[in-house]
Structure 1
């Protein structure tokens, strides 16, 4: 009876369903069965090649080259060879040069105290740190360094990364997610660009250091928020800038940025990889330079690979902000932690900076003297703030062809190296969003003398006379 009742129910249900619907379902069922049991081809029916035919196919096949055609004069085929430490002086292709190419702003490379502290740490801890910070990779010197950075920057907490590039590139996607909006200067460095990509947020670029253009974008966003207030309540807004821009040498207008942050309710992140330990009376960066309270900035990140003569990076901010990275910063969670010897080197560098804060005033004086000397060059236009240790020289009358311009700059760089001044052409990857004009990047350190600065300008003038005329 139960079986008959089931069939009766099915029959009644079929009577209530339209006939075309039943026909469609039956057709779909038959098609699925056909797909399951039907073979697209019979392997036995495939034509078998003879051994001679196989050999002929192999002989006729030409693999594509792993690398395309590269011009024989491409600069990367014959890169300059540097030997020894990249301190105040550097040996490039056998030429003894004054180093105006690397980012040794405070002259800490080769410092005996820093080297001795690193050697003692190796003797105690060895070289590596065995794993990520959360998995047996934390050593007491890591905690000491974070405490020292917190104290030095006068913030609530710090977190240390093992690689400078990954610091800002990991910090951005730790907070900004899909659906958020990020306002960012169009001239930011490549590490920030990679962080923006990883965040999957909506990116709004404003013109370099142009506060009018930034406010225009903020007004547009405010209008969008009014149209969809429900979405606006869950949309987070970030503002990301550099303290000193690597690609231009300009200092960000932090007071204006802070006012816009207050007005439009933004979270502001600053990458101070260059401005840390170069700006301010005590080297605390762009906030000290402008006398802006630290509370006005949500997070500060910096590489330790420029001023501190070590490796790695750090983020400082409120405990609420920084602690989030210990679980969400991929570069922190999944990278082997900073080798203890490098953490100790950073602590020693901070000790030196705190003992002698006059070095920062001296560095700014050197930056201003270099800026004045390079501004007088007849064949170059100079970009960069007078207080910035990074400056860019552009040809005043560039050729129409970019490749020709780069070749001219390469010849000028080669001439400078041959005459005792090491400089480089600023390098950019083609995948970067904004690739600036080719320029010669000049870096300043606080060990330069007046005579050395004058000689640098003289060598540049001779190089231009030799190459451009």
Structure 2
């Protein structure tokens, strides 16, 4: 290690140590409510947004960025459709920052379907579906999703995040237990908190630990729900679904799989993790997914047996008290699903691109973490400061990739997260990796 590289690493360690200490100071300095006292004893901080710990953390990050001359890598404005390629600040870029895995957002047939839906139904259904917001497109999409999965029925909601929150929050209660992978998405955790159920996590993809946990805890709850993801968006890996199904049967619990990133990506025809492992989709109690990635729209869905869907359709607050999915969004998702079924070669090409990228990165001795080489591969670079600087340097050379920073991941695991698209060419993947390599060396 050279003297300059050692000094750089030492500086970054000191920066991070100072950041962690200042964040802890913010938390420790947060005023507490007095046990008793007059109304004028209420601290001013309780009525000011700029005194909240959350804002203080944002302010601290901005201050640090300015101090070290780092421009924010967030909220880049894309001037057009963001697929394998995009335009930022008037410059064309190779885009690795979007979930448009199969290139269907912006597809002419998808655009035409959305435009036709607006012409016929308007831009909004203007009410909850149960009272006055149902349109033919809603049931057409839900029936198509259920058929695609091979289950009884499906229900679509206006937000992927809200789908997890309202489904988990509605189905479970204080006498129940929710067990999830430690890398579970925020929406899963928020749904568990809303339910009031006891919540426990197990080490990432460690199903032996899950088995031990269930042996210890199953008898202490009425209903138990295991929640995992079909593909984890931070790492690009996935769980052993057959083993999970065996555990759910053994311990008599429910199994929920969030397919936000595996739908359209895994399996020979893009039917997700069940197709990848050749398992009967009925073996999973709750299938969840989003419409905003492979399906080129916005929203979420739940698929499963009829009793589950009827329960959610009539009683889940996030569906019952929310406006229905906008007609152009339903139409776009339905058109994208049709293309997925008509053109399965999109899936195989995406998988080829994913394998190529993973192998090429490893040949360049880059740390690809747990990635299995599908549509998501992280390149772990170390510190958050290094990740931000590399992201900025790549953008200058026409490559857009977002950094994932502490505290979203451990500081030494800060990374650049590459989302692959079926329309990325091998030459573009090669150029992007070699450009990154020149800045790391």
Q: Calculate the TM-score normalised by the size of structure 1.
A: 0.78
Provide the residue aligned with 1:235 in structure 2: 222
Does the 8 Å CA contact 1:390/1:442 hold for their aligned counterparts? yes
Mark the structure with the bigger radius of gyration.
1
1:85 corresponds, among 73, 81, 87, to: 81
Provide the residue aligned with 1:375 in structure 2: 362
Provide the residue aligned with 1:279 in structure 2: 266
2-side partners of 1:64 and 1:309: how far apart? 36
Provide the residue aligned with 2:377 in structure 1: 391
Any idea what SS the aligned residue of 1:447 has?
coil
Deviation of the 1:427 alpha carbon: 5.9
Alignment of 1:250-329 (within 5 A): 250-329=237-316
2-side partners of 1:78 and 1:90: how far apart? 15
Give the CA RMSD over aligned residues.
Answer: 2.2
Deviation of the 1:79 alpha carbon: 4.5
- 1:204-248 deviations in Å (ceiling 9; x for gaps): 2100000111111012125xx3xxxxxx5x711111100001222
- 1:271-311 deviations in Å (ceiling 9; x for gaps): 00000111112211101110111121001000010111111
Provide the residue aligned with 1:21 in structure 2: none
Provide the residue aligned with 1:411 in structure 2: 389
Alignment of 1:401-440 (within 5 A): 405-426=383-404, 437-440=413-416
- 1:396-436 deviations in Å (ceiling 9; x for gaps): xx3xxxxxx212111100111111111001267x6x89999
1:158 corresponds, among 144, 149, 154, to: 154
Deviation of the 1:438 alpha carbon: 2.3
2:430 corresponds, among 454, 461, 466, to: 454
2-side partners of 1:241 and 1:425: how far apart? 24
Provide the residue aligned with 2:65 in structure 1: 73
Does the 8 Å CA contact 2:83/2:100 hold for their aligned counterparts? yes
1-side partners of 2:194 and 2:112: how far apart? 39
Unaligned runs of 5+ in 1: 1-62, 226-231, 399-404
Does the 8 Å CA contact 2:73/2:403 hold for their aligned counterparts? no
1-side partners of 2:95 and 2:315: how far apart? 39
Change (3 A) 1:64 1:91: closer
- 1:175-220 deviations in Å (ceiling 9; x for gaps): 1111101111000111111111111111121000001111110121
Q: Please state if 1:138 is matched with 2:134.
A: yes
Does the 8 Å CA contact 1:244/1:251 hold for their aligned counterparts? yes
- 1:26-51 deviations in Å (ceiling 9; x for gaps): xxxxxxxxxxxxxxxxxxxxxxxxxx
2:116 corresponds, among 112, 120, 131, to: 120
2-side partners of 1:330 and 1:219: how far apart? 33
1:175 corresponds, among 171, 180, 187, to: 171
Does the 8 Å CA contact 1:269/1:300 hold for their aligned counterparts? yes
- 1:101-160 deviations in Å (ceiling 9; x for gaps): 111100112111111111111111111111111121111111111111111111100001
Provide the residue aligned with 1:190 in structure 2: 186
Provide the residue aligned with 2:96 in structure 1: 100
Any idea what SS the aligned residue of 1:270 has?
strand
Does the 8 Å CA contact 2:73/2:391 hold for their aligned counterparts? no
2-side partners of 1:387 and 1:461: how far apart? 19
Any idea what SS the aligned residue of 1:451 has?
helix
Does the 8 Å CA contact 1:117/1:344 hold for their aligned counterparts? yes
Provide the residue aligned with 1:347 in structure 2: 334
Deviation of the 1:76 alpha carbon: 4.7
Q: Calculate the TM-score normalised by the size of structure 2.
A: 0.82
Does the 8 Å CA contact 2:263/2:294 hold for their aligned counterparts? yes
Provide the residue aligned with 2:346 in structure 1: 359
Any idea what SS the aligned residue of 2:65 has?
coil
Does the 8 Å CA contact 1:384/1:390 hold for their aligned counterparts? no
1-side partners of 2:83 and 2:185: how far apart? 24
Change (3 A) 1:413 1:301: same
Deviation of the 1:64 alpha carbon: 8.6
Change (3 A) 1:280 1:436: farther
